[in-house]
Amino acid sequence: MVSETLMDKLLQLRLPAFREGLRQQMTNPQYAQLSFEERLLLLVDMECVRRLDHRTQRRLKLAGFPIRAAVEDIDFSPERGLDRHLVLELSQSLWIDKALNLIVSGATGTGKTYLACALGYAACKLGYSVRYFRTARFLHDFNIANRDNTFLTMLKSLSKVDLLILDDWMRDPIQLSAAQSLLELFDDRFGHSSTIIVSQVPVSDWFTRFPDPTLADAILDRTIHNAYRLDLAGESQRKLHEFRTMPHT
């Protein structure tokens, strides 16, 4: 009776892992060899680990990554031109604490998205909030928000995100209204949060792709001057993967 009442109370207190662990201890005589404090510590540890895992899974779901990616699976082959030391340093996410940015550039298929997502995954696991967007869709959402008067709400929400990932940056023409929205975004985030910009367009070409030089200057001032840079080289990872998985006859 006492044990069932206790289980009900733990359920009310929303301590599922603690509850499961206690059931294990009650049915396994090996735990009797441990002191009360040792058994209690094991139960508390189980609950903490479960909650941490749930929070991490929520952050990963909210991030909206298009692929699962891990830093330990990044290909550091010499022909890719990746600085292993820098990538591993970035995976610790200390640069996010400093509100710095990262620019990942390179030709189509060189693995830019994978690299950005791997660093985003690492940040999520360390407790940072992350959001991933394709730039064209992101700007489309901004345009809709401007029309239905939710732009400021969207801007406020994004300003609280620790790490924002904008993929396919500069792939499509930037309209004047979109450039104005981007300036508002980067102005809010500058000095407070970080952004990863993923682009196949060289940084040197960004300025001329904006519709207004004043806006271009202001946006680039807030994105590139405080940014790490990773420039990927080598052959398309998609082609290499396809070649490696082709059946040999």
Q: What is the pLDDT of residues 223-239, one digit of tens each?
A: 999 999 999 986 665 55
How far is residue 202's CA from residue 62's CA, in Å, rounded to a whole number?
30
Instruction: Name the domain boundary from 58, 73, 104.
Output: 58
Query: What is the CATH classification number for the domain harbouring 205?
Result: 3.40.50.300
pLDDT value of position 237: 57
Decide if 62 contacts 55 (C-beta within 8 A).
no
- 95 is written with which tokens? 């640069």
36 shares its domain with 115: no
Cα–Cα distance for residue pair 113/122, rounded to 1 Å? 14
221 & 98 share domain: yes
According to the model, what pLDDT value does residue 88 have?
Answer: 95
For position 55, what pLDDT does the model report? 83
4-13 long-range CB contacts below 8 Å, 24 or more apart?
A: none
Question: What is the per-residue pLDDT for 236?
Answer: 62
User: Which residues in the chain show pLDDT less than 70?
Assistant: 1-2, 234-249
Closest C-alpha to 237, from 80, 53, 12, 101: 80
CA distance 63 to 123: 10
186 falls within a domain: yes
For residue 197, the surrounding DSSP H or E stretch is strand 194-199
Residues 53 and 146 placed together within one structural domain of the fold: no
* 71 and 187 fall within a common domain: yes
Q: Are residues 70 and 111 in the same domain?
A: yes
Q: Is 248 a domain residue?
A: no
Three-state SS across the chain? CHHHHHHHHHHHCCCHHHHHHHHHHHHCHHHHHCCHHHHHHHHHHHHHHHHHHHHHHHHHHHHCCCCCCCHHHCCCCHHHCCCHHHHHHHCCCHHHHCCCEEEEEECCCCCHHHHHHHHHHHHHHCCCCEEEEEHHHHHHHHHHHHHCCCHHHHHHHHHCCCEEEEECCCCCCCCHHHHHHHHHHHHHHCCCCEEEEEECCCHHHHHHHCCCHHHHHHHHHHHCCCEEEEEECCCCHHHHHHHHHCCCC
Residues pairing with 196 in the sheet = 102, 165
The predicted structure's pLDDT at residue 246? 43
158's CB contacts (< 8 A; 6+ apart) are: 131, 164, 185, 188, 189
Work out how many domains the chain is built from and give that number.
2
Residues 68 and 29 in one domain: no
Residue 83's nearest CA partner among 248, 232, 242 is: 232
Q: Are residue 44 and residue 150 in the same domain, yes or no?
A: no
Q: Are residues 40 and 100 in the same domain?
A: no
Print the domain residue range for 79.
64-243
Residues 94 and 110 reside in one and the same domain: yes
Per-residue pLDDT, 245: 43
Q: Collapsing DSSP states into helix, strand and coil, what is residue 149?
A: coil
Same domain (yes/no): 103, 164: yes
pTM greater than 0.95: no
pLDDT of residue 22: 77
My answer on whether 201 and 218 are in the same domain is: yes
Give the pLDDT of residue 244: 43
